[in-house]
Amino acid sequence: MIDPYAMLGLERDADDNQVKAAYRKAAKGMHPDSGGDADQFARLQTCYDLLRDPVRRKVFDDTGFDPQLADPRDLKGLMLLEPLVNDVILDEREPGSFDPLAAMRRKLSDDIVKSRFHILELERHRNRVRQHIDRLGRKAGTDFLGSMLRARSQSITEAIRNAEGQIQAIEQAYSMLEGYSYELAVALEPLSVAVKGEAAE
């Protein structure tokens, strides 16, 4: 995530005039017409637009997140985390009685394992298809069977790539949970049990 304040060299409490002045100063050196990098200038413009928009700025100040400034990998990670957060919200257990972060991490880890097993299955299937291709004698003229098998092999390769991309997104979501902790409620031993224990002594 790009920090718009750092990009413009501003403090968090900068007012609108300070934002404008910082943008003008930075834009002089970054503008493509002045020999600056077009991508860098586009990022500067996006930061400026965010800081000039009171709603987007408030959301960024509260969350540290803005979709237009986010790394695409973070967006994929957030998309995977959102249903997990919804599961926590809908969980009827008392807050503090379970660790929702551990549940999220466990779910993401399970999804990685499932995706890896899926890739192994796809690779075995693709290997069988390739062996069939190697053993298939070519028919004179149109080789429709060979074409169908090669197309199948290609679609499996694409499915493997998609599964690998999914694993990367899950790993990104998992890494986004780093640094968070959750305080569980301390379970107090019932008084009657403690009294009985003391009486037995």
Mind listing the pLDDT tens digit of every residue in the chain (201 residues)?
A: 789 999 999 999 999 999 999 999 999 888 888 888 888 899 899 999 999 999 999 988 988 888 888 777 888 888 899 999 999 999 999 999 999 999 999 999 999 999 999 999 999 999 999 999 999 987 777 888 999 999 999 999 999 999 999 999 999 999 999 999 999 988 655 555 555 555 555
9 & 90 share domain: no
Supply φ then ψ for residue 39, to 5 degrees.
-65, -40
89 & 185 share domain: yes
Of 70, 98, 114, which residue sits at a domain end? 70
**From residue 52, how far is each of 41, 61, 163 by CA, in Å?**
16, 13, 40
Long-range contacts of 149-153 (CB under 8 A, 24+ apart): 153/126, 153/129
Taken in order 57, 58, 59, 63, is the CA torsion positive or negative? positive
For the chain, where are the alpha helices, taking DSSP H only? 4-8, 16-30, 38-52, 54-63, 72-90, 100-135, 144-176, 191-200
The CATH number linked to 8 is 1.10.287.110
Which residue shows structure tokens 């098998």? 149
Residue 191: per-residue pLDDT = 55
166 & 93 share domain: yes
Domain that holds residue 77: 71-201
75 & 65 share domain: no
104 & 79 share domain: yes
Number of domains in the chain: 2
Joined together, the tokens standing for residue 63 give 């969350």
Please state the pTM of the whole predicted model: 0.65
137 & 169 share domain: yes
